[in-house]
Amino acid sequence: MNGGHTAMWPTRIYPLVLIALTWRLTECVAPLHTESIIKKFGQENAKPCLTPLELGVHLTKANEPQTEDDKVKMKAKRYRSLVGSLMNLACGTRPNISVAVAKLSRFLENPGEKHWDAGIKVVRYLLKPKHVGIVYDRSLGTQLKAYSDADLAGNRDVRRSVSGMMFMVCGAPVVWRSTFQKTVALSSTEAEYMALSDCVKEYI
């Protein structure tokens, strides 16, 4: 087949769709699932956001509801459903929202208004690139490449750092993860070594 021609060979793995774009390109997308999330939370006509989380915004337990009235008010909102829907997408085709979803998932038991607003912002981030997915290009080679990184004390409640890792094949991710480290790092270097150690263990 000529590499310049487009060939649509969709294979569905709910809620994902694998499409062979050309002889060397394969795309993994979830457009229907993305649109269902947008509609489910009433954001069809909202203004799209450029980033999944605002720079400098920190979600902490201090944002949790403190009064019974506030807790009742928040129970009426589908926070667990919101985070679960986004997590499904983050684990399948959208690694670019995985850090935001990981942060939101820390407050499933007692979410506050700020946590809810942050979750809706992630949904609005999905508006502009509804059909964005992961494109694998076999011409870039099938050698597995691994990357890791860490912040310092990303969890401000317990001062634990966040480790991130990504494995790539054919120029696109096949494994990605963002998790809190089990112990408190005393420096950014220590946090990055912890992240590297976890990455190497996953690679092996």
Query: What Å distances lie between residue 178 and 33, 63, 65, 87, 137, CA to CA?
Result: 22, 22, 26, 12, 25
List Cα–Cα distances, 73 to 20, 70, 111, in angstroms: 46, 5, 10
Q: Residues 89, 78, 111, CA angle at the centre, nearest 5°?
A: 95
pLDDT of residue 12: 47
Edge-first strand order for the sheet with 162-169 is: 145-150, 162-169, 172-180
Residue stretches of the chain with pLDDT short of 50: 1-10, 12-14
pLDDT for the residue 169? 96
Output the 3-class SS for 27-91.
EEECHHHHHHHHHHCCCCCCCCCCCCCCCCCCCCHHHCCCCHHHHHHHHCCCHHHHHHHHHHHHH
The single-letter code of the amino acid at 197 is S
Q: What span, in angstroms and rounded, lies between the C-alpha atoms of 131 and 27? A: 10
User: How confident is the model at residue 172, as a pLDDT?
Assistant: 95
Q: Which amino acid type is present at position 125?
A: Y
- Phi first, then psi: give them for residue 160, nearest 5 degrees: -90, 145
Q: Are 49 and 125 in contact (CB under 8 A)?
A: yes
pLDDT in tens, 5-44: 444 444 544 456 777 778 788 888 888 889 999 999 999 9
Closest CA to 174 of 182, 166, 165: 166
Domain boundaries, the chain: 1-139, 141-204
Please choose, from the candidates 44, 4, 53, 10, the residue with its C-alpha nearest in 3D space to the C-alpha of residue 24.
4
Instruction: Give dist(CA 132, CA 28) in Å, integer.
Output: 9
Give the pLDDT of residue 1. Answer: 37
